[in-house]
Structure 1
Amino acid sequence: MTPSAVAESTVSRGKRELECGEVPASRVRAPGGGRKSLRGNDPELVPALLALVEPDQRGDPESPLLWTVKSTRKLAAELTRQGHRVGSDTVAGLLKAEGFSLQGTSRTTEGARHPDRDAQFHYINDQATTYLADGQPVISVDAKKKETLGNYAVIGSEWHRAGQPVEVRAHDFPEKGAQKAVPYGIYDIGADAGWVSVGCDGDTSAFAVATLRRWWNGEGRHRYPAASRLLVTADAGGSNGYRVRAWKKELADFAHETGLEVTVCHFPPGTSKWNKIQHRLFSQISINWRGRPLTSYEVVVNTIGTTRTRTGLTVHAELDPGAYPTGITVPDTVMDRLPLTPHEWHGTWNYTLRPEPLAPPPPPPSTEFGRFPSGDKLPAWLRHPSLTGLEAPAFDALVARYRDHMTKNPPLLLPGKRPAGGPGAGTRRLSASDHLVVFLLAKRWSMAQAPLAEATGLSKSRIGATLRDATPVLAALGHTVAPGPLTVTSATQLEALVGRTPPPSPDQ
């Protein structure tokens, strides 16, 4: 080597070129000279690398790096172990040449799609277009993620002097009893304006509709003085879900108070990100408080209230200190009375609440020992004086006394029990007159349950229950039954006593 650190042969070649007057070549190395690339020397290198990076696609489900982070260092080490000597930089170059790059996950898979998903989107769009064209308000509602108040880290960054970041807690685990802010938002689509109530209690349907009521009284009725209808678009779940009874009950109260016809259209399950409030309002709020610890309700309310965009979005925010306990249920008796009209298209997702009070409750169901049914179930001929031993006026008077006593003195029942033929018995319930007919026939003619069942068309168990109920009542009324001249053992004998010809049998 010469002092210039150049090979002696290279210096000699340069000297000859100068002496001969030759023009120096543009390159020193001859074409095809130099070390061959690893891809050329080792044709199995790239397939081995792809098998490590894409084990599922390349048919190597037992790849040693299947369950680890595939860094270039680990890939290079595994390739070297397999006999392909290579460095991490070379691995990076090979991956880029094959079209690879560092990428995160992409939120695209939504699971099973409802067959009417797209049709519901079109339905919501048509409803909103019609309402806006008529000058009626259209709003999008939803609850934002709860935020723990305190000196906790918040995603994002904000300008500060170098080396002077805002100091927060080292861990994000909330302290015991830490307060939470519950933002519930309303986005006015036509006005590009938001309203957010920051709650201090639960995210319930009562809180959601209370926010709607605050918005309407504070902004909505002033912005839409001639409004007679309101369209609400909401997610399929949460406090404003289409299956939540309390949501519909609270909306019915709101419609009645305001005189608005409230129509609700829910987005199909799994499509909440398409609700406009998510990307028109909530995303802007998250940007506005990025990197800022939410240490108090004041910080949350003021940060939300100052949210603005260059396209014109304005937001009003206020604190709602009210209590909204969870666990409130709405029974069937209330749901059946709501002034709710399901739409013809997916009535569970789309419905309208009319500005009317709840329908009056139905009358309480009659009970066996309260109010008897007006119609008699037993044949009229069984009340013949020859059978009951009572003329018609005396029989009617006994029926009235019997009914009155049963109404004023219902029998005591064991827990979970109800009298035979009571609520839910429907057409099987017997009148007071029927009770007396069964009792008088059994006692006057010493009839067993089998022939009595044949004559009345009742079951033997029903006859037994009726006798048990009627016996103490008639004893209390002091009524005694005069025995008949014989024992009746069949329905035919009863018919003969009143001169009634039995119907011919099917064989005649």
Structure 2
Amino acid sequence: MAVGGEVLGTLAAKFQVIMPHLDERQRRLLLGAEARALGHGGIRAVAKAAGVREATVSAGVDEVEAGAPPLGRVRRPGGGRKRATERDPGLLAALMALVEPDERGDPMSPLRWTTKSTRILAGELSRQGHRVSADTVADLLRKNGFSLQANAKTIEGRQHPDRDGQFRYLNQQVKDHQASTDPVVSVDTKKKELVGPFSNAGRQWRPAGEPVRTRTHDFLDDSLGKAVPYGVYDLTADTGWVNVGTDHDTAAFAVESIRRWWSSRGCHDYPNARRLLITADAGGSNGYRTRAWKAELAALAGQTGLQITVCHFPPGTSKWNKIEHRLFSHITMNWRGRPLTSHEVIVQSIAATTTRTGLRVHAELDTNTYDTGVRVHDRQIAALPLHRHNWHPDWNYTLQPEPFEQFSTSPDPFDQPSPDLAWLHHPALTGLPAGDWETLITTLLTLHKRQREASLHQRRGHRPRMAAPGTGRRPVLTLADRLLAFALHYRLGLPQVAVATLFTVRPETINRRLRETRQLLDQAGYNIPPSVHKIATIADLYAHAASNGIPSPNIKTAS
């Protein structure tokens, strides 16, 4: 029978309201139930009212009459579009070969040296005949245990065999000092910061569309310079002291920072202290090989009356230093996203650093200048009240608050031999009378200056900036030292390795200085005549000096 227009209108209104809330199978069942209720002609009428094919309504009628139980899903198992890996069995293997060429793929993979984004991977797979989209590549990677990963700093390099032993020894020293209420501090230099309107990592809340404007390039502003924060972290009191320097990060600057901490905070927090334990990295301005660090600490011990013990972390373990993750990390978080436009901003930002566990930080600006290249001679080290511990004496030592003999730390004149090598300045060894020596040195000084400027111009691509007199890093060997080394090697035949041992430098350094000195002598038109007497060892040199009445460090002169 024919279904009237009024019934079709009612069905159409019903379907318009209900159908959007149903899935595919539920829609078929609804259409089938309505068609079955209308009887003959119901399939065509329902299909017309719902705007679907009659076959869809007919399938719904069959499912209603069959009384099939709910399946819990829209399609029957196996229905729908096939997965990409099923349509292309070689797709997954090809993808794994691209993302893991080192482990299980081709080492000659075309994407071995390329950032492997999903778009680039999809393009390469399509070029190999595996048509796939970037979204599908991302799904396959996630299903196979991949995710976007950043680099993880976990490789510490070669580990010292006594690393764990040093950690245990350091921990015991900390416990001993804390048990006697003596201060224990962790020290280090934070990363040097450019001062000026430069971008700083991180973000901060600001009005939308109004970010802080910073420079596009991070070039040093000569008028503002850099900030050198040196931190002193008190392990017991959970307090920090940061000395913000404006000059060089030297041993003198490091010890001055500790001196300021003690004068302003430490002596008040520990009025009965007789000892101070310092834990520090193995390198930098407070490294265990830095002689100036020990000399400055000896002076500090004498000024404060404290017995200063230093325990260094083993090489390659600086991240274990407490100050790194108890002070410096919080400072970095506090000023994230904020340009460090002035030294005042840096000092105030450091001083405002706090934590929920009670950390408090004090910061000061240090505008003093600190000379670089300060040489501490063997005599000065031998005079220090330095007691080395039985366990790793290079990493663990104590400086007693005792007076000691002071030696001049002023730079050696570039035209004079180093004091420890002055005994080599003798005509019997150099083959040069005193007058010829002075004339030759004066000539070589001018030629050396030209040689150095030409070298700097070639390396930098421009003329060197003129530094103020007395500033800059002092050379390891003075010009007179180099001329002495040249005479020992080319006149007396002393091997370069022995010359390097005598001058306490590396053989590579002696080789380079000898080559430069030969160039200077050739330019001056001067040739040092060889000696008939040849020496092969340092012992032979001492014997030759003794035979010529030259007092050397290994020769005891009669009183």
TM-score (norm 1): 0.71
Equivalent in the alignment of 1:314: 360
Q: Given that residues 142 and 234 in structure 1 are in contact (C-alpha distance below 8 angstroms), is that contact kept between their aligned partners in structure 2?
A: yes
CA offsets 1:138-187 (integer angstroms, 9 cap, x no match): 00111111111111111111111222222212222223444211111100
Matches of 2:406 and 2:343, distance apart in 1: 43
Structural RMSD (CA): 2.7
1:33 deviation in Å?
2.8
Question: Given residue 315 of structure 1, which amino acid in structure 2 is its aligned partner?
Answer: V
Equivalent in the alignment of 1:204: 250
Give 1:92's match in structure 2, choosing from 98, 119, 138: 138
Give 2:400's match in structure 1, choosing from 354, 363, 386: 354
Q: Given that residues 96 and 105 in structure 2 are in contact (C-alpha distance below 8 angstroms), is that contact kept between their aligned partners in structure 1?
A: no
CA offsets 1:331-363 (integer angstroms, 9 cap, x no match): 1111110110110001000000011111488xx
Note the 1:198-237 alignment, pairs <5 A.
198-237=244-283
Give 2:309's match in structure 1, choosing from 255, 263, 279: 263
Give 2:350's match in structure 1, choosing from 283, 301, 304: 304
1:24 deviation in Å?
8.2
Note the 1:328-347 alignment, pairs <5 A.
328-347=374-393
Question: Given residue 247 of structure 1, which amino acid in structure 2 is its aligned partner?
Answer: W
**Structure 2 CA distance for partners of 1:13 and 1:318, relative to 1, 3 Å:** same
Equivalent in the alignment of 1:424: 552
CA offsets 1:48-82 (integer angstroms, 9 cap, x no match): 11111101111410111111111111111211222
**Structure 2 CA distance for partners of 1:430 and 1:31, relative to 1, 3 Å:** closer
Instruction: Report the secondary structure of 1:336's partner residue.
Output: helix
Note the 1:142-291 alignment, pairs <5 A.
142-291=188-337
CA offsets 1:404-453 (integer angstroms, 9 cap, x no match): xxxxxxx979756978122128568689xxxxxxxxxxxxxxxxxxxxxx
Structure 1, 59-68 or 239-248: larger mean CA deviation? 59-68
**Structure 2 CA distance for partners of 1:296 and 1:15, relative to 1, 3 Å:** same
Note the 1:456-467 alignment, pairs <5 A.
none
**Structure 2 CA distance for partners of 1:54 and 1:5, relative to 1, 3 Å:** farther
1:132 deviation in Å?
0.2
Matches of 2:161 and 2:553, distance apart in 1: 42
How many residue pairs are counted as aligned between the two chains? 385
Matches of 1:337 and 1:321, distance apart in 2: 31
TM-score (norm 2): 0.64
Matches of 1:426 and 1:239, distance apart in 2: 33
Note the 1:127-146 alignment, pairs <5 A.
127-146=173-192
Alignment of 1:73 onto 2:113: no
CA offsets 1:273-297 (integer angstroms, 9 cap, x no match): 1111111111111111111111111
Q: Given that residues 98 and 105 in structure 2 are in contact (C-alpha distance below 8 angstroms), is that contact kept between their aligned partners in structure 1?
A: no
**Structure 2 CA distance for partners of 1:159 and 1:214, relative to 1, 3 Å:** same
Q: Given that residues 225 and 246 in structure 2 are in contact (C-alpha distance below 8 angstroms), is that contact kept between their aligned partners in structure 1?
A: yes
Q: Given that residues 421 and 430 in structure 1 are in contact (C-alpha distance below 8 angstroms), is that contact kept between their aligned partners in structure 2?
A: no
Equivalent in the alignment of 1:324: 370
Instruction: Report the secondary structure of 1:269's partner residue.
Output: coil
Question: Given residue 133 of structure 1, which amino acid in structure 2 is its aligned partner?
Answer: A
Instruction: Report the secondary structure of 1:231's partner residue.
Output: strand
Q: Which has the higher contact order (CA 8 A, sep 6+)?
A: 1
1:126 deviation in Å?
0.5
Equivalent in the alignment of 2:7: none
Equivalent in the alignment of 2:516: none
Instruction: Report the secondary structure of 1:281's partner residue.
Output: helix
Equivalent in the alignment of 1:121: 167
Matches of 2:152 and 2:434, distance apart in 1: 67
Matches of 2:125 and 2:176, distance apart in 1: 64
1:230 deviation in Å?
0.5
Instruction: Report the secondary structure of 1:197's partner residue.
Output: strand
CA offsets 1:229-259 (integer angstroms, 9 cap, x no match): 1000001111100011110000000001111
Q: Given that residues 260 and 354 in structure 1 are in contact (C-alpha distance below 8 angstroms), is that contact kept between their aligned partners in structure 2?
A: yes
Instruction: Report the secondary structure of 2:383's partner residue.
Output: coil
**Structure 2 CA distance for partners of 1:289 and 1:335, relative to 1, 3 Å:** same
Question: Given residue 552 of structure 2, which amino acid in structure 1 is its aligned partner?
Answer: G
Instruction: Report the secondary structure of 1:283's partner residue.
Output: helix
1:7 deviation in Å?
4.2
Alignment of 1:50 onto 2:128: no
Matches of 1:428 and 1:44, distance apart in 2: 85
Q: Given that residues 421 and 428 in structure 1 are in contact (C-alpha distance below 8 angstroms), is that contact kept between their aligned partners in structure 2?
A: no
**Structure 2 CA distance for partners of 1:199 and 1:119, relative to 1, 3 Å:** same
Matches of 2:221 and 2:311, distance apart in 1: 39
Matches of 1:179 and 1:199, distance apart in 2: 11
Equivalent in the alignment of 1:63: 109
Unaligned runs of 5+ in 2: 1-43, 408-418, 424-432, 438-483, 488-544
